[in-house]
Structure formats: C-alpha cells, structure tokens
Structure 1
Amino acid sequence: MGFNSCLEHKEFRNDYHKMMVTLLATSAWMSDKMKCFLANEDITLQQFNILKILQENEKPLSILQIRQELIDKMSDASRIVDRLILKKLVKKQVCSTDKRLVDISLDKEGEELICRINQKMDQLDANCEHLNKEELNQLMNLLNKMRGDAKVAATETQHA
C-alpha cells in the first residue's frame, strides 16, 4: 500500500492536520528514496549530508560547525564522522590554531565518492519530474512560508 492510499483512509481533525500528515508522509517517502539511492554507495543519508557539508566548505570544519549545518539536528555528528573515518572518506587532524579542537575534511576517497554521487543525482531528481519548474518554485515558496521564512519565499518568487 502506497503513501497516497494510506492517507485516503485516515480521518483528519482539519485541513492543517491533513497537510501535516501529508508533509510527514512525503518526507518519509523522499527519505526512503534517498536511502535506497545512497545504499548503492554503502553510505547513510546522515553520512552523505556530512560529506556534502565538507565538500561545500573550502576549509576543514570542527564537529560543532558540521553539527550546526546538519539538516537533522538530532544526528550524532561525532559518531557519524567516526564511521566516515573508518570508511576512509574523511580525515581528522588537530586544529592548527587551537590544539583542543580537531578539523574534519574530505579524504581523497570521500571526494571521489561525492563526485560519483553528484554524477548520478538526476536519478534522484527523477522522483519529482512530474512537477514543472513553476510548481517546484511554488512548492518551495510555500514550504519556506510555512517555516516562517517569508523573506526567502518572497525573494524566490521574484526570481522565478
């Protein structure tokens, strides 16, 4: 039974409740698609997020800096980084300016993995290909607005 059929049989208090359940179901659906996509490379969604954070920053980051950029704030960044070190995807070095801290950066194998994944991202994008550009922008604007980020939503509407 798919997500849509599960939602059809539920009773909702009101439209806000229905929207929240639909949003959670969609999030779980997309998370599942991403997990399957990343399983081919033997990494988890949380590990991928840390690798992307490290790739997007030009200098090594501390665990605290990584944690601040994570989408899932409940993730145990230290434990995930330790697993990435075991997989030889990232490296840990003592910070040159503060010996109490450690810097985390991508290792060569981590860079190669991110490049491989980036080359196949269109496979993941295909899950949303039934939405046109206008619908995508509208959805992103509404989600930003729902989170209270009306400034971002207004700016994105102007650039659409």
Structure 2
Amino acid sequence: MSIETDIKQATPFRTPYHRVMVNLIYTSNWMADSQMRLLKPFGLTLQQYNVLRILRGQSPNPVKVSDITERMLDKMSNASRLVDKLVAKKLVLRTECPSDRRAVDVVVTDKGLALLTQLDVHQAELDADYQSKLTEEEAVYLSQLLDKLRA
C-alpha cells in the first residue's frame, strides 16, 4: 500500500523528498506501534526496553547513566528516570561508581536478562514479518540509504 493511500492523501506531494520524509515518519510510527504492542504485556515502554538492551550489550560490566543517555535511540528520554523505573521492577541495579562518586553505575539483573530472552522470541516473530516483506539485500540497502540520509 502506498503512503498516499495509508494517509488518505488525494493530492501529490510537492517533491519526492517531501514524500520520503512523510513516509519515514509514518513508517517509524507504525514500527514503534508494533514494538509498543509487543512490550505492553510485559509492562515495558520502548525507552525502558532500549535501556535494557543497552545494558545487556555491556553485561556484566556496569554502564554509567550518562553513557546510557548517549546511546539511547530516543534522545529526549530521561535515562535516570527510566533507570529508576527499571530498578523498581528489579530489572536493573543501580550502584555508586567507585571511581566517581557523582556518577551512577547500572547493571542488568538476572530477572532483566530473563525478560529480554523472553522478548527476543517475540521480536523474532516481528522480524519474520519484516522478512516476508523485504529481502535481506533490500534491508541492507534500506539501512544504507537511511545512514546516507543522516550523514
């Protein structure tokens, strides 16, 4: 289905660049909605999931909250608040950094890792849906085009 059909637009876009911008925003929101529906039964937000994945990638090493902030996909997220919510859910541990008492180290707990393993199964189902729509070569090329657009 075309972007024009999805957003019920009868008039053509001003330029192909305007069309691609609208299409990217619409598709990004569509993909985020799929992710949110996946995470909702587990009581997680997209931003919390992003923090957990960052921590899993560094596990078992601790990560400073400031480093989490730098790596977040959503740059408007408050990493400190997100970590607090994950601590309350016992998915991460927060400790004082031994080398800098003003900094805070965060590590994912076994419970957090187990949740991520569960989510990996569901994520694989979403990936399979994308694989039915794009070949691996198309996915690589699309990523290259998006990287080029941001460069």
Query: Is TM more than 0.5 here?
Result: yes
Higher relative contact order, structure no. (Cα contacts within 8 Å, ≥ 6 residues apart): 2
1:156 is matched with none
1: CA distance, partners of 2:74 / 2:103: 23
User: Which residue is 1:85 aligned to?
Assistant: 87
Corresponding position of 2:46: 45
Matched ranges for 1:2-151 at <5 A? 4-6=5-7, 8-9=9-10, 11-58=12-59, 59-129=61-131, 130-148=133-151
> C-alpha distance in 2, partners of 1:117/1:53?
14
Q: Which runs of 4+ in 1 moved over 6 A?
A: none
Letter in 1 for 2:143: M
Following TM superposition, by how much is the alpha carbon of 1:5 offset from its aligned partner in structure 2, in angstroms? Answer: 2.4
Alpha-carbon distance in structure 2 between the residues aligned to 1:56 and 1:10: 46
Q: Counterpart amino acid of 2:146?
A: L
Q: Output one character per residue of 1:103-154: Cα deviation in whole Å (capped at 9) or x when no partner.
A: 1111121111111111332112133121111211111111111111xxxxxx
Gaps of 5+ in 1: 149-160
Q: 1:7·1:22 contact (CA, 8 Å) conserved in 2?
A: no
Assess if the C-alpha contact under 8 Å between 2:92 and 2:107 holds in 1: yes
Normalised to the residue count of structure 2, the TM-score between the two structures is 0.90
Paired residues, number: 147
Instruction: Provide the C-alpha distance between the structure 2 equivalents of 1:53 and 1:9, rounded to a whole number of angstroms.
Output: 42
Greater fraction of residues in strand = 2
Which consecutive unaligned segments of at least 5 residues does structure 2 have? none
CA distance in 2: counterparts of 1:78 and 1:137, whole angstroms = 34
Q: In 1, Cα distance between the equivalents of 2:110 and 2:140?
A: 35
Contact 1:63 1:78 in 2 (8 A): yes
What's the % identity of the aligned pairs? 37
Quote the RMSD (CA, aligned, Å): 1.7
Cα distance in structure 2, aligned partners of 1:109 and 1:80: 17
Deviation of 1:12 after TM superposition, in Å, equals 2.0
